A = this chain, B = another copy of it.
Amino acid sequence: MTTDLFGEIAIHPGRRIAGRLVDVLATPSPDTFETAPVARLALGFEGVPGDRHAGFIRPAGGREPWYARGTEIRSGRQLSIVSVEDLAEVAAAMGLTEVAPAWIGANIVIRDVPRLSFLPAGTRLFFDGGAVVVVEGQNAPCRFAGAAIARRTGAASAELGFRAVARRLRGVVASVERPGAIEAGGAVAVKIPEQWIY
């Protein structure tokens, strides 16, 4: 990989990775935290219509301590994307057979993209059929996810354990750049943008 220099800043060029779309999921209603597999995910500009995280605007929460809780802010959290490999690492660290993407509210499950949770902001995922989503940032484990794992596995320690173990392995959040329907089993072209350290 060649690196350009601009003054003292080293610019790492963009590149592409090929992944697979393993599963697509949505919340059965906006009140549910866990998701359930669906035949297809119809992505609109607002995310997954009817899903808990659909919408352009959301109330600020614990992840944004610089806002008063409940402040209306732009939502960059329409979609939760996780990888088979990262969740397997989480499960192993917790002594569990699996951590199912549905338990932690994932919408899109991908494999073959190494360290998916580190895909930088601005990464584009191109799906079969034309839908494109843009990574907004690393997702942070929340207590809802830990509680769901505890409930599903009977491992009471999971409620707090998940938060510590899943840090940097819990996938990314993303917005829809170009709407379209996506189905499990297809290809995903992952376009990493140029990067540098500011």
Contact = CB atoms under 8 A, between A and B. Distances in A.
B119 A122 contact: no
A28 B188 CA distance: 42
Nearest to A117: B6
Interface in A59-80: 66-67, 71-74, 76
B56 A120 contact: no
A134 B194 CA distance: 18
Interface string A141-185: 000000000000000000000000000100000011110000000
A124 to B, nearest CB: 8
Copies of this polypeptide in the complex:
2
Nearest to A8: B115
Contact of A198 (B57, B134, B168, B192): B192
Given A197-B195, A197-B197, A121 B120 contact: yes
A67 to B, nearest CB: 7
Interface of A: 6-7, 9, 12, 45, 56-57, 66-67, 71-74, 76, 115, 118-124, 126, 132, 134, 136-138, 168, 175-178, 191-198
A137 B45 contact: no
B73 A177 contact: yes
28 contacts: A6-B118, A6-B168, A9-B118, A45-B56, A45-B57, A56-B56, A66-B126, A66-B191, A71-B178, A73-B178, A74-B134, A74-B175, A74-B176, A74-B177, A74-B178, A76-B134, A115-B198, A118-B196, A120-B195, A120-B196, A120-B198, A121-B121, A121-B193, A122-B136, A122-B137, A195-B195, A196-B197, A197-B197
